[in-house]
Structure 1
Amino acid sequence: MISFLFVCSGLLLLLAVSLSSVPLLFVSLFFIYKLVYAPTLGLANSIAMAHVENREKFFPIIRIGGTVGWIFAATVISLLKAETTATPFIISGVVSIVSGIIFFFILPYTPPAAKNSTFNWRDVVGVDSFKALNVEGSGFKVFITTCFFATMLSTLYDQYAPLYFHSAGLERTAAYMSIGQISEVLVMALIPLLCLRFNLKTLMTFGLLSIVICNGEFSGNIFKRSVHQECDCRRRAFAAGK
């Protein structure tokens, strides 16, 4: 299934790029592409978890491998100076198709955990998982709400940070933004050591505070740059009128 999804998502992405001159078709195809591609993230984790014997020891290493791949891809895009072109989409589509073909031959057979169970729409939609929201003292509501806003901030940063850096005159923005992934690798490497000293709730609190600090600093820089540009425009307008 994951091989099929990779191939389909790659084809959809390439098709969307080829029809980028038609905005409605491009957005529609890109939306379908995201729907097809999104399940591969969970499937990849499930396959890894199903076949890794010592999950606590080896899964973090596998996870770091994905981040290293992200850094490599960003560096390649920057070396090609392709941040503002369709090249990243084309590379992503081709790599997705090739990966799907390779995975078809090398990935082990991994049947669903509930293969012989009766089909139930409640399980598909995940209705029963919402029962955890009503468990007294679990704090699950706070956890879900916090993750929602943290993910929203991350998505906005990924979307608009390259535009900001480009407008600020910074070249090779993809490579510069991969510094965040480098710090992610370092943090994940330190987590086992930090777990010996702090509990999970404390570590998550530190992580959330770091998100607030980073986004606050980034927003402050954007605000100062906007004020500077506004003052510069007013100064030029005043000088021209004078």
Structure 2
Amino acid sequence: MPIVDAGSGAQPTGKVARPLVAKLVAMMLLEFAVFGSWFATLGLVLSTHGAASVIGQAYFLSAIAAIVSPLFMGAVGDRFLAPRNLLSLLHLASAAIITAIPSALQGGDLTLTLVLIFCNMLFFQPTLGMVNAIALVELGEHQRIFPYIRVFGPLGWALAGICVGALGLSSSTGVFYFAAASSTALALVAQTLPKRPPPSVDSHFSLGDLVGARAFVLFRNRGFAVLMFCALLTSISLGIYNTFASPYLAALGIKNVAGVLAMGQLSELVFIVTIPFALSRIGMKWSLLLGMGLWGVRFALFILAAHGLLGAAYLSVIMHGICSDYFIVVAAMFIARCATPDLAAQAQSWLVLMISGFGAAIGSASSGKIFAAFVAPNAASGAVAWTPLLLLPLCLGAITCAVWIVLFPSARNSEADSVRPTAPLGGAGC
């Protein structure tokens, strides 16, 4: 990655200051260490403490939080609070709430446990889009190196998972304390970022801004609209994976579930650095298709694992890297070119809304019903009982591919296939 010392005078074209890179790296690493330390094995933690009946509800409420808060917080960040200050405040609030979950769960108060999980995610979910928006804005004309910053996200998730697994906390409430410590650390790191005023501080405020209504203009762009629809379909599969991957791996007889799931995040380190090469060779349309379409393949491998081919489960977990990188990271880069600076936070919030919000809600709710109807009653038959649940994302992957190929604009040699600095809606950048 081309970088230059901050004290070397004017930055040459194509170079970014080392101190800024270090701060953005720390921000991205800690952001996903917070998430990866507890969210991946939440289902296992709940089932271990006699709360298996609310696994689906917990993930569903997390998704509802992602629907309710990101656009609202994006509007707040665009107008009233400096991005770094909002990021710090949200993480401090999240840390305070998540430390109360262990006592509620251990005390058998499932209602309070669900309320705390929901409240925690109200504060945390908006930060997923905020860290992307902050990094892309700070990189400015150097957004092509964003993947090299974003790669530390999955690294943070993987390191958190490895630590949790090595400490024997995969099914323990200790994961919540780990998350709180990481969240507090990120709040401190955020204060070292460049101090910038809210991008729309002088703009007129309306009630529509509370729900990010100004960002609706993005849907005039066909590419953005199709991306949001396909992101919704793909994130249903992601929601199913997040909800039931850990108990499914346990059903297969796999030990150290947190450590195994961390393999998926480690694989992101390999695939994410290939994004600039892929964009230059096959373009954004086909890169995104690769990331979204392979979700169906992952669940086909899970089905094979249930029928005796255990190695297919490990391969499916490892494929998380390419599925996540070529879907979420490339999508964030595309969105950065669709929105003007004053809409940057709200635009990235739409991606969070579709992935962690609507898609995750539908995924967790539908998979919870399928689990209750087909898996739980046939638990004695082992992992084979999970097959009906695994078929849904496989079918969704096929539908997503068909919609994407037919409707997303094809412009192999146009601006739509290149990575450029943020440009206004409808301009060359989107």
Q: Deviation at 1:110?
A: 2.2
Q: Which residue of 2 aligns with 1:187?
A: 271
Distance in 2 (CA, whole Å) between partners of 1:170 and 1:194 is 34
Could you say what secondary structure the match of 2:238 adopts? helix
Q: Deviation at 1:213?
A: 0.8
Distance in 1 (CA, whole Å) between partners of 2:143 and 2:92 is 31
Give the conservation status (yes or no) of the 8 Å contact 2:101–2:176. Answer: no
Matched, 1:15 2:166: no
Q: Deviation at 1:131?
A: 4.6
User: Amino acid of the residue matched to residue 11 of structure 1?
Assistant: A
Could you say what secondary structure the match of 1:110 adopts? coil
Q: 1:118 to 1:166 in 2, by over 3 A?
A: same
Matches within 5 A, 1:168-179: 168-179=252-263
User: Amino acid of the residue matched to residue 200 of structure 2?
Assistant: A
Q: Which residue of 2 aligns with 1:164?
A: 248
Identity of aligned residues (%): 24
Distance in 2 (CA, whole Å) between partners of 1:188 and 1:66 is 10
Distance in 2 (CA, whole Å) between partners of 1:129 and 1:108 is 25
Distance in 1 (CA, whole Å) between partners of 2:210 and 2:306 is 42
User: Amino acid of the residue matched to residue 230 of structure 1?
Assistant: S
Q: What is the CA deviation profile of residues 31-89 of structure 1, one whole-angstrom value per residue up to 9, with x for unaligned ones?
A: 01100111222222222223224432432111011111111111111111211111111
User: Amino acid of the residue matched to residue 14 of structure 1?
Assistant: T
Q: Deviation at 1:132?
A: 4.6
Give the conservation status (yes or no) of the 8 Å contact 1:7–1:98. Answer: no
Q: Deviation at 1:8?
A: 0.9
User: Amino acid of the residue matched to residue 178 of structure 1?
Assistant: A
Q: What is the CA deviation profile of residues 98-156 of structure 1, one whole-angstrom value per residue up to 9, with x for unaligned ones?
A: 3323433x222122110111112223312344455466xx2544322211121121122
Q: TM-score, normalised by structure 1?
A: 0.84
Q: Which residue of 2 aligns with 1:121?
A: 207
Could you say what secondary structure the match of 1:19 adopts? helix
Distance in 1 (CA, whole Å) between partners of 2:122 and 2:96 is 13
Matched, 1:35 2:186: no
Q: Deviation at 1:167?
A: 2.4
Give the conservation status (yes or no) of the 8 Å contact 2:139–2:146. Answer: yes
Matched, 1:73 2:73: no
User: Amino acid of the residue matched to residue 191 of structure 1?
Assistant: I
Q: Which residue of 1 aligns with 2:234?
A: 150
User: Over aligned residue pairs, what C-alpha RMSD do you find?
Assistant: 2.5
Q: 1:42 to 1:182 in 2, by over 3 A?
A: same
Give the conservation status (yes or no) of the 8 Å contact 1:47–1:110. Answer: no
Matched, 1:196 2:280: yes
Q: How many residues align?
A: 228
Distance in 2 (CA, whole Å) between partners of 1:54 and 1:133 is 24
User: Amino acid of the residue matched to residue 92 of structure 2?
Assistant: V
Q: TM-score, normalised by structure 2?
A: 0.49
Could you say which structure has the larger radius of gyration?
1
Could you say what secondary structure the match of 2:197 adopts? coil
Question: Which structure 1 segments of 5+ residues have no match?
Answer: 232-242
Q: Deviation at 1:27?
A: 0.6
Q: 1:172 to 1:54 in 2, by over 3 A?
A: farther
Q: For structure 1, which segment, 52-61 or 165-174, has the greater mean C-alpha deviation from structure 2 after superposition? A: 52-61
Question: Which structure 2 segments of 5+ residues have no match?
Answer: 1-85, 310-374, 383-430
Distance in 1 (CA, whole Å) between partners of 2:293 and 2:242 is 19
Give the conservation status (yes or no) of the 8 Å contact 1:11–1:97. Answer: no
User: Amino acid of the residue matched to residue 96 of structure 1?
Assistant: S
